[in-house]
Structure 1
Amino acid sequence: PLVSKLNSMTQTLATRLNEQHAQGMSSLGVVGANMFSLGSDTNYAENFTLALTSSDQIAAAGRLKIAPGASNSENLRATLSYGENTSWGGTVEGSFTITFTSPTAYSVTTGGVTTNYTGFDINNGIVIGDVKVNFDRAPAASDTFVVTSNTSGIGDNSNITRISEISEESIFESKKLRDFYINEIGKVSSFNNLSKMSAEAKQAVYDNAMTAKDKISGVNLDEEAADLIRLQQAYMATAKAMQTASDIFQQLLRIGI
């Protein structure tokens, strides 16, 4: 189960990182490719590797950039986010211009065609395909914003910022990455302690069984070892006495007794 959880976490993390990376633009002017590879089988944690081969391939910038009109309301700021269209095919959107005709109405011009909209809500922003335009305050009439492709992939770190924020998303069994990791590490530690306790218990059972066996068979290894030492000492003493007797006998022969 622990290995399965680790594989699941790795798969979820890699998939989410790859999805977000694909929404950005690299300094090479191309949409981000997969950051990580999971291999061809389900051992995701073991096969988890970096797929990028160069830092130039990191899609740190957003694939689009937005510029406010020169006569816009003071301090009005707009940002772009992505992921509004699950069927987005990876093609960078064309340029478009947003022009507000009132605080709640605006038009979008793309490819020379202008479409009017009403009912603008700052909390919902403006969604165009896979792109969402967010505003930090309510726009006024005549405020304009021009959105173009970020072909150079520089001057913008919005996508790498989003990638760094993935760790705060509750996508790992409704937990953040850090919380999920700590929880699983705790399980591993508990499992390790239980395994150690189990091994100690089995050793105790084995020792008790051997003691019981020795009692039944009438053999005590400690006593047998002590007897063996005593016999060895007696043998050595006897051998010494025989050697001494032999030496005395030889001396008697030499003096002719």
Structure 2
Amino acid sequence: MGVSVLAPVEVPAEDRNRTSLFPYGGHRFEFRAVGSSQNVSLVNTVLATIVADTFREFSDAIEKGQMPKTVAQKALRESWKAIFNGNGYDQANQAKLKEDGVWCINSNVDAIRRYTAPKNVALFERMRVLNATGCAARQEVLFTQYTGVVEVEAKCLIDMLQQHVIPSVRNTNTTHPMLPELMACVMTVKDALQELHTTEVSAERADKARVLRLETMVKVREIVDAAEAVVPADLWTLATYKDLLFLDHTLP
């Protein structure tokens, strides 16, 4: 590390806050908000750029004559609202944080839209990471990727409905009262997909994809769950949670 002597390093015994986006893990912070299928390169680029820009501000202030301690204290006072050690999953805490002015973007599409916000473009340009054209291009790619993934998921749901759920219910009773509702679900998802294909603007298409994924498909899931509850296990052709959790117990 370039030094001959290091001060004693104490390792905290407590566990990190697993409900926090940035839990303190003992002389380091972790970022736990990246999705399992998400590429971390963009996340690291954004975080590193923000940190570098903040250190630039610190350096400029110190070089102009301010004491390092004063600079650090000022930064802490201005950022204190972002320090939170409670339960991040508690909705009451979420509401309180919003009241305190802490940003929370729950939509991936809305987060992508912030890529070209003036202050963010200015940050990337100031640190010579990206220019406005690069930000817009990456935003377009992310919108397209999001819509494409949702399209695959929606088509998969249609296949599951037509090849498994509806036949399972029909095998239980050819006039089962849930059959019309399930067949209507297929048409609802197909119509939503068709609407995606006829929307030209990528941001608008991504907005519709978000509604399809988080509203339409969630409602379909609720109907399918209700159907699963009334279909005998031997007629249900999709794997259940029991099958997945205790797979080793079901094998011969």
TM-score tier, shorter chain, comes to under 0.3
- Looking at secondary structure, tell me which structure has more helix per residue: 2
Compute the TM-score of the two structures, normalised by the length of structure 2. 0.28
Compute the TM-score of the two structures, normalised by the length of structure 1. 0.28
Rg larger in structure = 1
- Looking at secondary structure, tell me which structure has more strand per residue: 1
1 or 2 for the larger relative contact order (CA 8 Å, sep ≥6)? 1
